Amino acid sequence: MTKTIKIILTVLIAVIIWLIAYGVAIQDKVRAWNDLIESQARIQELEQIIADAQFSYSIAETSKNECIESWNAQKQKAHDDAEKARLEIKEIQGFLMSR
């Protein structure tokens, strides 16, 4: 082999080694970029889960308050009805006593 061919082969081998090293380095960067994209997608997914949970919580809290208001209204109505019945009993008893 001539000296020129040895130099060309050495340069060619150096270029091939550099390309392989560059490919490995780029592959790591691509993998890191993909991991970053997947992480951002997961964050968005989790934020949506949190937003849905907050909305469900709000609906549950509103429903609970509506139930409490309805329950209190029913209690008050039952109390008022019983009070009217008591007053009517007193009126009837008073009428009967006065006779």
pLDDT number for residue 36: 95
Does residue 79 carry a pLDDT above 80?
Answer: yes
| Cβ contacts of 9 within 8 Å, gap of 6 or more | 1
Does residue 99 carry a pLDDT above 80?
Answer: no
User: Could you give the C-alpha distances from 21 to 9, 29, 33, 37, in angstroms and in order?
Assistant: 18, 13, 18, 24
pLDDT number for residue 77: 97
Does residue 3 carry a pLDDT above 90?
Answer: no
Query: Residue for token digits 């209190």?
Result: 72
| Cβ contacts of 88 within 8 Å, gap of 6 or more | none
Using pLDDT thresholds of 50, 70 and 90, give the confidence band for residue 60: very high
DSSP-H helix ranges across the chain: 3-98
